[in-house]
Amino acid sequence: MSVTDSTVQLLPLAKELDESKVTPGVLGFLVFAVLGLAVWMLMKSMTKEMGKVNFTEAPKPGAATASGPSGVARSDTSPADSDSGSDAR
């Protein structure tokens, strides 16, 4: 079977299509592909930037006075003992 034979067989199927029907075509595919590529590049960039973020929380300035020598907060402190009135636990 040659190319022309298969084209002749598909020609009646093309006539069955509604000529007033609008399809996205090549331009629609290209726009969709560009949008997909842009989203992929943005996700790749965001993943790279998120890898640079330091998620460890910095110690509060008043945390050194409320903790014991080993860095563990003491349980014997009460809110009345602290100067600022906030709970240091």
DSSP-assigned letters across all residues of the chain:
--HHHHHHHHHHHHHTS-TT----HHHHHHHHHHHHHHHHHHHHHHHHHHHH---SPPPPTTHHHHB-TTSPBPSS--TTTSSS-S---
Chain centroid to CA 32: 19
Contact, 74 vs 68, CB < 8 A? yes
Per-residue model confidence (pLDDT) at position 23 = 82
Query: Rounded to two decimals, what is the model's pTM?
Result: 0.41
Residue with tokens 């907060």: 73
89 residues of the chain, pLDDT tens digit each: 566 666 666 666 666 766 778 788 899 999 999 999 999 999 999 999 999 988 788 888 876 655 555 555 555 555 555 555 555 54
Per-residue model confidence (pLDDT) at position 35 = 98
Per-residue model confidence (pLDDT) at position 82 = 52
